[in-house]
Structure 1
């Protein structure tokens, strides 16, 4: 196994995202189970704020992918500056983590709400908002992973399978 060059960023690992989401599910389920009666109602649009972020990241991904595939990375005019590419990659990694944690939170809510729908009227009205939030968080994770993938150079060694 070769050491990684200084300054390179490792790709986001799916297992890290799954672990973070599972941790958030467990913590949220416990907290919701204890404090659900004191929570305000969950509006349908509560988790929708992540949709615009996901859309922006998808648009950025296509722009970055186009520049990288056309070898327009550099500090010249109409080129993607390498520092900008690094910042976009860092944004993608952070967004994937935020999306995974948020998906876990909404998943924890749903884990509590779904069995309670036959008992609590509030659980019935809170469920659609939790679904909207979960889907938005998963959309953000997908967009972030796509953006991170688009930030890789065509000859990036992380694209090759390990031997």
Structure 2
């Protein structure tokens, strides 16, 4: 399993943004209000992932990966990688949706009061989704194994 490719996340975001724009343009009149609080759950998950990333990074840096008291079990690191991969995709898809909604709302802000009111919530949700993508990629980066030390001329490790 390799790292999540940013190109794939970007492609998914653009595709969902286009689909989201079409869906919103057809169904916006039936939408509930989009408030400031709408996307903040994504920001909370992003904050937790950033905290976990710093913890994992410090344990890997200290060489405390293994089975023992005060050590981080390797399966916990593997689970963190899986969570980061899933979070990156969820964040990318959510970002695409909210960008599609925002592209629909921006021209309507001048004429629709509800579009002006919803714009703030949409921007917060889009920023929260972007934060989740970035936090997930950071967690994934922090879970990488450290580089092996270079070998001496006689084949012994430093």
1:77-126 CA-to-partner distances (Å, cap 9, x unmatched) read: 21111111100010001101001101111101001000111121111110
Using the TM superposition, give the Cα deviation of residue 155 of structure 1 relative to its aligned residue in structure 2, in angstroms.
Answer: 2.0
**2-structure distance, mates of 1:45, 1:76:** 41
**How many residues were matched structurally?**
148
Matched, 1:48 2:44: no
Unaligned stretches of 5+ in structure 2? 149-158
Any residues of structure 2 matched to 1:1-163 within 5 Å, and which? 9-155=1-147
**2-structure distance, mates of 1:33, 1:140:** 26
| 4+ runs deviating over 3 angstroms | none
The alignment's C-alpha RMSD in Å is 1.0
TM-score (norm 1): 0.88
**2-structure distance, mates of 1:19, 1:116:** 26
Unaligned stretches of 5+ in structure 1? 1-8, 157-163
